[in-house]
Structure 1
Amino acid sequence: MSSNAKIVLRKKPNSKGQYPLAIRITKNRRSTYQYIGHYIDIEEWDEKNLRVKKSNPNADSLNKLLSQQLSNANKALIDLQSEYKDASANQIKKEIYASGNSSTFFELAQEHLDELEVAEKLNRLSTDSALISYIVKYHKSKQLSFQEIDERFLKKLMIYLKVKHDLAETSIMNILVLIRLLFNRAIKLKIVSRELYPFGGDQIKIKFPETTKIGLNIIEVRAIEALDNLTRNEIHTRNVWLFSFNFAGMRVTDVLWTKWSDIYDNRLHY
């Protein structure tokens, strides 16, 4: 079975005048194409070396993605050659890609948020939604493949979060933890190769800064209880804090959802 795969830039532009990157699969001079979901200007394409030029700001990530896609296609072709006596280009494409999961990072992120909502983990839902929104703002698009999330991408993201949003180190680490969680899920679902894992070793390390927590003493708590001349909103705020404090640091989400009916048999049930 004479067949091959090659990286190409297709010649039909989209509405923005950009051209799609693809993997071309050829069998007996008949070709079919697997698009990778990214478009570039024609001036950014190196036809001789079949690479995206450095003039494209995402050149490194796109070239890495193209190489991975080509490698996967060639490996699949070798596997198919050992199993089939004959197959058309379209049949080869179907065998290579039909069973594959090509979910993007943000598609998997949305699945994660949906699961939290169904499980009624509202505090975690609110937190993770906010963390994901920072990644959307940085990438400026919801078309983000896991293959694009490499060490360089993450380092630039960390700098962006610190400089543009003035996030503390702990908040930045929390965003990386969420990305790592989704990346591990993508590996399990065979969306991305484990070889592209950008965490650990000599790559991105997630290390939370040491923090010192100082609690209030009994005199300070009683001083808060005795505060007067408060506005209506300040009274409610003080009461919410005291309610949480007296229930050993109950989460504010749980405090706000508490009803009188949750208290019975001299206990709070939540």
Structure 2
Amino acid sequence: MATIKLVLRQKPRQDGALPICLRITKDRKTSFIYLGHYLQPDQWDDATHQVKKSHPNAKRLNNFLLKKLAEASDEALDLETKTKHVSAKAVRSKLKPQVGATFFPQADNFLAQLKAHGKYNQYTSDKPRIEHFRDFLNGSDIAFSDISAGLLERFKAYLRTLKTYRDKPMGERSVVNHLVTIRSVYAHARKNGVVTKDQSPFGENGIKIKFPDSIKIGLTVDEVKQLEEAELSDPAHIHARNLWLFSFYFAGMRVSDILRLRWSDIQNDRLHYAMGKNNKGGSLKIPDKALKILEQYTHLKENKDDMVFPELKGCDFTDKFKTQRTIAFKTSALDKCLRNHVAPAAKIDKKLTMHIARHSFGNISGDRIPIQMLQKLYRHSSITTTIGYQGNFIHKDADDALDTVLAFEP
């Protein structure tokens, strides 16, 4: 008969903490199931197989562990009753769905899937948010049924006490993004059959996720001209400016799409590409100013399917995660160059990044272009997105209304 015990396995994390596991032994063969909790060695009692009372959350954690041990023992007994010959590995396979039906095992599986699907940006954003939730719970796992709207409100209050890497309080947008990540783990758990829709603390009868209004500031026409005309001598600075202007000339084309461009995407003086964010395809006429930029890179062209710009040359595009990571690193370097060198040379005191090219196109287009055409240029899936986005840059009516009210004789 299989024996199941709670143990602290000797495979430490970087901080020295060891994982709490269920150890399954059958016919002298052993298998382990990780329960999503870690302890320092002096917090575990080997004699009683329990968390020591000195641990700040000992009672709750021990209750959780005993519950999992009982569930596992019952499942193992049921399996061995139905099956004459069963291995430790088979018992583990039978038990794992049950013991993984709490938040952090599902969160870890969610992150693993993001990584497997090459979603580097979301992975690197969601992973620290999940760790903040773990820290809020003092390193303990938690059942989905115990995550209430009230607990999430306390989590929000906790996040506001944290400092960012610049030693500033966490912004409200970041706080809300943490809730979005937890909601994503819930959605993942629903797909795995671990929770149902009515168990979610979000939605009509739960906590509401509302993003604060963000301020989008782009360059003006004069500032874009300053950027175009700025005297630059360093090739790296010229290249960063080229990519920024190329993005602007194509209605704020995203940097990830720019870096992926191949010479084969250019046909009949048109640029054909599908936007990586939503896979919406289309083509645009290549403006004369963009043609002049492309001419600066023709000497690097090795074949018709070669990359237009050098950042991703030699990149293994079959590894989506590494490709996204490379794009993130290259974008960070471009943004640093734009902020520290290009903007000062152009006498621009606004924060200059690759993404600001998209805001700048929105700012300059204002309400002069029909919203349906802007949707096409931005490659938005929904016109509602375009209306909301462009609302950041249309000020004329509000400005006129303010002037009307203030246009009185004292």
TM-score bucket (shorter structure)? 0.5 to 0.7
**Distance 1:246-1:260 versus aligned 2 partners, 3 A rule:** same
Match of 2:124 in 1: 130
In structure 2, C-alpha distance between the alignment counterparts of 1:236 and 1:183, rounded to whole Å: 43
Q: Provide the residue aligned with 1:4 in structure 2.
A: none
Q: Secondary structure at the match of 2:213?
A: coil
Q: How does 1:1-270 map to 2 (within 5 A)?
A: 37=35, 38=37, 55-59=54-58, 62=61, 65-66=64-65, 69=68, 98=94, 100-101=96-97, 102=100, 104-116=106-118, 125-135=119-129, 138=132, 139=134, 147=142, 151=147, 152=151, 155=155, 159=159, 162-165=162-165, 166=168, 167-190=170-193, 192-194=194-196, 199-200=201-202, 205-225=208-228, 227-232=229-234, 233-270=236-273
Separation (CA, whole Å) in 2 of partners of 1:63 and 1:195: 29
User: 1-side partners of 2:198 and 2:65: how far apart?
Assistant: 13
Supply the AA of the counterpart residue of 1:98. K
TM-score normalized by the length of structure 2: 0.42
Structure 1 length-normalised TM: 0.59
Amino acid corresponding to residue 248 of structure 2 in structure 1: F
SS in structure 2 opposite 1:181? helix
Could you tell me how far apart the structure 1 residues matched to 2:258 and 2:161 are? 31
Code of the aligned partner of 1:181: S
Contact 1:128 1:178 in 2 (8 A): no
Distance 2:202 2:10 in 1: 39
Contact 1:244 1:250 in 2 (8 A): yes
Counterpart residue identity of residue 230, structure 1: L
Q: CA deviation at 1:263?
A: 1.2
Whichever residue aligns with residue 200 of structure 1, its letter is: F
In structure 2, distance between residues paired with 1:67 and 1:52: 11
**Bigger mean CA offset, 52-61 vs 232-241:** 52-61
Residue by residue over 1:37-96, the C-alpha shift from the partner in whole angstroms, topping out at 9 and shown as x without a partner, is 346568767x99x9856642454763574476479669979xx7xxxx9889x89xx789
Query: Which sections of structure 1, spanning at least 5 residues, go unmatched?
Result: 1-7, 25-32, 117-124
Q: Which has the larger radius of gyration?
A: 2
Q: Aligned to 1:269, what secondary structure does the other structure show? A: strand
Question: Residues 209, 61 of structure 1: CA spacing in aligned structure 2 closer, same or farther, 3 A cutoff?
Answer: farther
Check 1:137–1:15 CA distance in 2 against 1; reply closer, same or farther (3 A cut). Answer: closer
Specify the alignment match of 1:119 in structure 2.
none
User: Cα deviations across residues 180-206 of structure 1 (Å, max 9, x unaligned)?
Assistant: 22331123213x334995642676543
* Contact 2:114 2:122 (C-alpha < 8 Å) held by counterparts: no
Q: Write the distance in 1 (CA, Å) between the matches of 2:171 and 2:210.
A: 13
Amino acid at match of 1:107: N
Kindly tell me: are residues 54 and 65 of structure 1, through their superposed partners in 2, closer, same or farther at Cα, counting changes over 3 Å? same
**Alignment check: 8 A CA contact 2:160 2:175 kept:** no
| Cα distance change on mapping 1:172 and 1:199 into 2, 3 Å | same
1:235–1:199 distance in 2 versus 1, CA, 3 Å: farther
Secondary structure at the residue paired with 2:163? helix
> Is the CA contact (8 Å cut-off) linking 1:158 and 1:172 kept in structure 2?
no
1:240 partner amino acid:
L
Shift of 1:252: 0.8
Q: Which amino acid aligns with 2:94?
A: A
The 1:223–1:19 alpha-carbon spacing in structure 2 relative to 1, beyond 3 Å, is closer
- In the TM superposition, residue 224 of structure 1 has moved relative to its aligned partner by 2.2
**Partners of 1:51 and 1:63 within 8 A in 2:** yes
Residues of 1 paired with 2:266 and 2:158: CA distance?
45
State how many pairs are aligned: 242
Change (3 A) 1:261 1:15: closer
Q: Distance in 1 between matches of 2:197 and 2:70?
A: 12
Which runs of 5 or more residues in structure 2 are unaligned? 25-30, 274-410
Q: Cα offset for 1:259?
A: 2.7
Q: Report the identity percentage.
A: 30
RMSD: 5.2
